[in-house]
A and B are shown apart, each in its own frame.
Chain A
């Protein structure tokens, strides 16, 4: 049976089409579903294996990025969502989707509490929106989506991507539980790089986290924007040097991992 993915769209979510295509390339059945279809029970979360929250500007980023969509979930779909998580299913949020997840509290989901906010993503240190490609190093973690990836090259496109934990206790706990999934590094792989390699001033250069089980995952950079080798900004240079291009874009592995996990579980 093919993995069934619910790609949330509507209300200013923007990256739903490419996210759907990413999961299709990875071998899943991906359906774009409007949140109002969930609220009216036209669609039910329990019928899907993966919930994907794509990037975009839900509700125009008004009040705070992801905030209003998070409240929409919380005050209309909290129980179905909690049941979905408890049932061992997968959730991925990219960029705006990640912002929704942390404000909703389903990330980092510490001590099996998927309801309270422990970290945030807020205005970039530069005070402005940035579109640029960044290098990420993966840390050893249980994250289902990043297994087998060591370094990945992806675009960030956000104005509010600066990761801040509630306090040092939360941060240390994230490390201890291996919930820090990815960090920004410079092209040589050096840790804790300055701007622009850490594009938003995130604490400890953190770009992605997961819950304690590794099934709930959020990340600021966009793997669905690197599905093809020709998405890579250096591809004409790579081609001139090697006379060939890799088969896939680096981001595709994230989606393949999810589908593979479901197949094996």
Chain B
């Protein structure tokens, strides 16, 4: 028996969501409707009396001031069409879960297993001449995502019973069992097994598994626990997770034969060890603030005398491509668990985002399942809900649009936390586990959602569960767990903590068990969302919002008590041992029994080839272009470009103030609406120390050379934090590689070149890390930035993204009161340009506008930049500087315009004073040479400023004046730009409508 409660707005009350949908239907789909109203539906799948339902309607579901409700009938019936959208079976329904809690609390009753509340929403559509096809279009392309939702379209004439969407109960008609997998088969069949189960293990790896389980000593050991020479599905699945590219980074660990552009060959054994660990390890020895790098869930540095700081950036590309909202939501909520599971466990202090998608204005030939505009809005909303509901500020982020991301987007999410320097006598970054400690899981329950490869098996069994491995996250459950764990840490209730991310329990417990060399876990103890999961599914499920702990048995009672206070589900699953075995049981039968050593170190090393071709060999050269005739018009055009223009609407929907730590905001200037170079937070309210936060990215340069692309992204991240008042003494970076696959498979003809691009990027990472003494203390790679998309003719097209590296910076700011912003502030201030402007427009926004690529990609001069950044930081520290802005994409022209309209004062500039060998106005304005800043100072400070800046390339290029116009004299001595700030800002803001 179930009840259906419908809640809608009273007549005369604005239906904001309905209005927004009406606009989107017109804007995105070109369908004109008169109006849209929304009705929220709560299906209570439990027997209640009429009096109870009425009581709940009044007390819980409807806001008496603005809403009406009814039950078991329709609230509103005068529409022309209705689309009801609900979740598919097994998809997380957060509102439904909350409704259950609230009903239990109000009525003092208990829901039994199988009873639940399911939510759905009706969109009531009003308008004449609307057809069923229009409704399908609206449902499919706007209101619902078939990966996780289903819907029902009805005309007003449909009988009531046919208008109701079915309740998505989960019922898995299956008795859980662990099955042996026969690997004594041909090589071809081995590959087929891997493919059928979506194990993503290659032949060499499958053979290594077969060989291990065939060994006579292993067979003998396994017979004693009731297994034989065939591995179980649980063992094979656990190995596939542990050995996955995601967990083991097999491409970065490969041995590579690299042929350079002269044909010379050399071997590189393990890119990660050679370049990333190579440079970070060396710097860790030199720099006392580098604490813990490249092994734990996030990298750790010193912050102040009380706290350590840790951060980690992840990508969630494939899930976001399927279901942008759920993908990005689980991405941000998932990456939060990395700092939470670092060392003794941290308190979260901020998150950031990076959305690389196709252009939201894309009108080309490709027909991706989701248009980039919809994908962008989905990931934005995912990060909004994940961050805001978790109480973690999201003060910084970026977008980058390129149609190469139509195959697969790069969706970056970063999380940072602080850990007490010392936790009960132990250093905050350390972890330990002793044999006999209990395996404890806390947070959410486990379901079949979040199992890669569950897709096929679920489809075969019928429509009883969502065919998707994409999940919807639950920030509420995780926020409760976060508060619980912070307190448990301070009470010393656990010894070790890690998150359940990729690979689920098999990875989290498997990794923690390396401290003791073994574990014994009872999979039937794991709390499930619904019955019917096989042991292997429980072991590898990636269901969200879970952490694993190692707890001393004598602390368990207190931990349970604290968990009850915070209403966090907490369960003992087994214990850590020193047996050397990866041992799982289900209903007292052993289902995995493998050597820890084999599980973690048995994966064979991959061999790959790389072949570099220089830009010249690829036919790249500098274009010959006519000068721009109307520079003012052109400047407005470049300001409006999607990769330059304002995305204020994104920034504003993220809470960047929560925790009260905000110092330099994401939007600054007189009207708080121009992007800051970086942001600054003070995570410890009792301390004046801060963290400056930024990121650098510029994949366009990859087309020319990934070495310089990487160098420029690296430089940009650093330059941005310098611009707000950080210094070179303590900047930590996080590297994220998003690469098109360099694996030699049949449809990937230039795999060797992509691998060479990867090596060059790594060389740059190492070179600039060492030169700037800025280590990458954490990082991640995603090595399959490819997708197959249909074109307008219905043909499959394989789209590879540009090789992309995002560097995220976190810099210690000694005194936040000395920070600066990029807006010009006082008439009379002198304007300096720091750094040389070179003939470096290859891959620039300017060339792209003129449909060229070019050859002269910007190069980073590490020695000159290092001196400049050190000296500039000194002038900021001395309080000599009133505004600083880096020159990034769009070069000097864009930087000057932004400074002018941010401060809304006049800015008079003479380009002939710019330190450069260039002769052309367009090149001086739009060169993207790295290492440059525009700086303003009060005239009184000129002498002191110049003294500190001695030995750097710099020149006074103009002055701040009263009024509100940007006035630029070109290389020909004539005024080439003269425009009001208002007009420039309007151009910059109009693309996304502010």
A-to-B contact residues, CB < 8 Å: 9-15, 17-18, 21-22, 34, 36-37, 55-57, 59-64, 67-68, 71-72, 74-76, 103, 117-120, 122-133, 155, 157, 164-166, 201, 222, 224-225, 227-228, 230-231, 233-234, 236-237, 240-241, 245
Pairs A-B, 3 closest by C-beta atoms: A14-B391, A18-B660, A127-B16
Q: How large is the interface on B (under 10, 10 to 19, 20 to 34, 35 or more residues)?
A: 35 or more
Q: Which residue of B lies closest to A222 (CB)?
A: B657
B28 to chain A, nearest CB (A): 15
Most A CB contacts (10 A, CB to CB) among B66, B99, B658, B660 go to B660
Contacts of A71 in B (CB 8 A): 59-60, 102, 105-106
Given contact pairs A12-B391, A60-B474, A122-B65, a sample of 11 additional A-B residue pairs in the complex whose CB atoms are under 8 Å apart: A14-B391, A14-B658, A18-B685, A36-B567, A37-B565, A72-B105, A127-B16, A131-B654, A166-B64, A236-B819, A236-B825
Given A12-B480, A59-B476, A126-B16, verify A120-B685 contact (CB < 8 Å).
Answer: no
* Interchain Cβ contacts under 8 Å between A and B, 5 examples: A62-B94, A63-B61, A230-B817, A241-B825, A241-B826
In this assembly, does B633 line the interface, its C-beta being within 8 Å of a C-beta of chain A? no
Contact at A59–B101, with CB atoms within 8 Å? yes
In this assembly, does B267 line the interface, its C-beta being within 8 Å of a C-beta of chain A? no
Most B CB contacts (10 A, CB to CB) among A36, A64, A201 go to A64
Given A130-B653, A241-B825, verify A63-B98 contact (CB < 8 Å).
Answer: yes
Contacts of A222 in B (CB 8 A): 657, 660
Given A64-B63, A164-B65, verify A56-B391 contact (CB < 8 Å).
Answer: yes
Given A59-B98, A117-B65, verify A225-B657 contact (CB < 8 Å).
Answer: yes
* Bound Cα distance from A228 to B687, whole angstroms: 12
Given A37-B565, A67-B60, verify A21-B660 contact (CB < 8 Å).
Answer: yes
B420 to chain A, nearest CB (A): 14
Contacts of B816 in A (CB 8 A): 230
Contacts of A12 in B (CB 8 A): 389, 391, 476, 479-480
Contacts of B670 in A (CB 8 A): 234, 237
* Bound Cα distance from A62 to B119, whole angstroms: 11
In this assembly, does B659 line the interface, its C-beta being within 8 Å of a C-beta of chain A? yes
* Bound Cα distance from A100 to B977, whole angstroms: 54
* Bound Cα distance from A74 to B56, whole angstroms: 13
* Bound Cα distance from A118 to B65, whole angstroms: 7
Contact at B825–A237, with CB atoms within 8 Å? yes
B565 to chain A, nearest CB (A): 5
Contact at B389–A60, with CB atoms within 8 Å? yes
* Bound Cα distance from A139 to B266, whole angstroms: 77
**Contact partner of A227 among B61, B389, B660, CB < 8 A?**
B660
Contact at A11–B480, with CB atoms within 8 Å? yes
B168 to chain A, nearest CB (A): 18
Contacts of B391 in A (CB 8 A): 12-15, 56-57
In this assembly, does B255 line the interface, its C-beta being within 8 Å of a C-beta of chain A? no
* Bound Cα distance from A222 to B687, whole angstroms: 21
Say whether chain A's binding surface is mostly helix, strand, loop, or mixed: mixed
Contacts of A9 in B (CB 8 A): 483
* Bound Cα distance from A123 to B63, whole angstroms: 12
* Bound Cα distance from A245 to B663, whole angstroms: 13
B677 to chain A, nearest CB (A): 12
In this assembly, does B287 line the interface, its C-beta being within 8 Å of a C-beta of chain A? no
In this assembly, does B14 line the interface, its C-beta being within 8 Å of a C-beta of chain A? yes
Contact at A119–B95, with CB atoms within 8 Å? no
Contact at A75–B105, with CB atoms within 8 Å? yes
Q: Which residue of A lies closest to B484 (CB)?
A: A10
Given A71-B102, A233-B672, verify A131-B663 contact (CB < 8 Å).
Answer: no
Q: Which residue of A lies closest to B680 (CB)?
A: A230
Contacts of B60 in A (CB 8 A): 63, 67-68, 71
Q: Which residue of B lies closest to A167 (CB)?
A: B65
* Bound Cα distance from A61 to B94, whole angstroms: 10
* Bound Cα distance from A224 to B659, whole angstroms: 9
Given A67-B63, A222-B657, verify A21-B685 contact (CB < 8 Å).
Answer: yes
Kindly supply a per-residue 1/0 record for chain B positions 798-841, scoring 1 wherever the CB is within 8 Å of any chain A CB and 0 otherwise.
Answer: 00000000000000000011011101011000000000000000
Contacts of B390 in A (CB 8 A): 14
Given A63-B99, A117-B64, verify A57-B480 contact (CB < 8 Å).
Answer: no
Contact at A62–B480, with CB atoms within 8 Å? no
In this assembly, does B665 line the interface, its C-beta being within 8 Å of a C-beta of chain A? yes
Which parts of B656-671 form the interface with A (CB within 8 Å)?
656-665, 667-668, 670
Most A CB contacts (10 A, CB to CB) among B101, B656, B685 go to B685
A62 to chain B, nearest CB (A): 4
Contact at B657–A155, with CB atoms within 8 Å? yes
Contact at A18–B659, with CB atoms within 8 Å? yes
Most A CB contacts (10 A, CB to CB) among B60, B384, B388, B823 go to B388
Given A10-B483, A119-B65, verify A201-B658 contact (CB < 8 Å).
Answer: no
Contacts of B882 in A (CB 8 A): 240
Contacts of A227 in B (CB 8 A): 660, 685
**Contact partner of B567 among A11, A119, A120, A129, CB < 8 A?**
A11
Contact at B657–A131, with CB atoms within 8 Å? yes
Given A60-B389, A63-B60, verify A201-B817 contact (CB < 8 Å).
Answer: no
Contact at A231–B565, with CB atoms within 8 Å? no
Contact at A157–B98, with CB atoms within 8 Å? no
Contact at B388–A60, with CB atoms within 8 Å? no
In this assembly, does B655 line the interface, its C-beta being within 8 Å of a C-beta of chain A? yes
In this assembly, does B20 line the interface, its C-beta being within 8 Å of a C-beta of chain A? yes
Kindly supply a per-residue 1/0 record for chain B positions 89-109, scoring 1 wherever the CB is within 8 Å of any chain A CB and 0 otherwise.
Answer: 000001101110110011010
Contacts of A56 in B (CB 8 A): 391, 658
Contact at A230–B663, with CB atoms within 8 Å? yes
B558 to chain A, nearest CB (A): 14
* Bound Cα distance from A123 to B21, whole angstroms: 14
B944 to chain A, nearest CB (A): 15
Contact at B63–A233, with CB atoms within 8 Å? no
Which parts of B356-394 form the interface with A (CB within 8 Å)?
384, 388-391
In this assembly, does B282 line the interface, its C-beta being within 8 Å of a C-beta of chain A? no
* Bound Cα distance from A170 to B57, whole angstroms: 23
* Bound Cα distance from A61 to B389, whole angstroms: 8
Kindly supply a per-residue 1/0 record for chain B positions 537-579, scoring 1 wherever the CB is within 8 Å of any chain A CB and 0 otherwise.
Answer: 0000000000000000000000000001111000000000000
* Bound Cα distance from A254 to B804, whole angstroms: 48
Contact at A68–B98, with CB atoms within 8 Å? yes
Kindly supply a per-residue 1/0 record for chain B positions 26-67, scoring 1 wherever the CB is within 8 Å of any chain A CB and 0 otherwise.
Answer: 000000000000000000000000000000000111011110
Contacts of A230 in B (CB 8 A): 663, 682, 816-817, 819
Contact at A240–B826, with CB atoms within 8 Å? yes
Contact at A164–B475, with CB atoms within 8 Å? no
* Bound Cα distance from A118 to B66, whole angstroms: 11
Given A10-B480, A120-B66, verify A60-B98 contact (CB < 8 Å).
Answer: yes
* Bound Cα distance from A55 to B655, whole angstroms: 12
Contacts of A125 in B (CB 8 A): 14, 16
Contact at B102–A63, with CB atoms within 8 Å? yes
**Contact partner of B566 among A10, A126, A128, A133, CB < 8 A?**
A10
* Bound Cα distance from A89 to B823, whole angstroms: 46
Given A67-B63, A103-B63, A123-B16, verify A15-B660 contact (CB < 8 Å).
Answer: yes
Contact at A236–B821, with CB atoms within 8 Å? yes
* Bound Cα distance from A75 to B106, whole angstroms: 6
Which parts of B62-87 form the interface with A (CB within 8 Å)?
63-66
* Bound Cα distance from A120 to B9, whole angstroms: 13
Q: Which residue of B lies closest to A68 (CB)?
A: B102
Contacts of A129 in B (CB 8 A): 384, 388, 652-653, 655
* Bound Cα distance from A138 to B865, whole angstroms: 51
Contacts of B653 in A (CB 8 A): 128-131
Which parts of B249-283 form the interface with A (CB within 8 Å)?
none
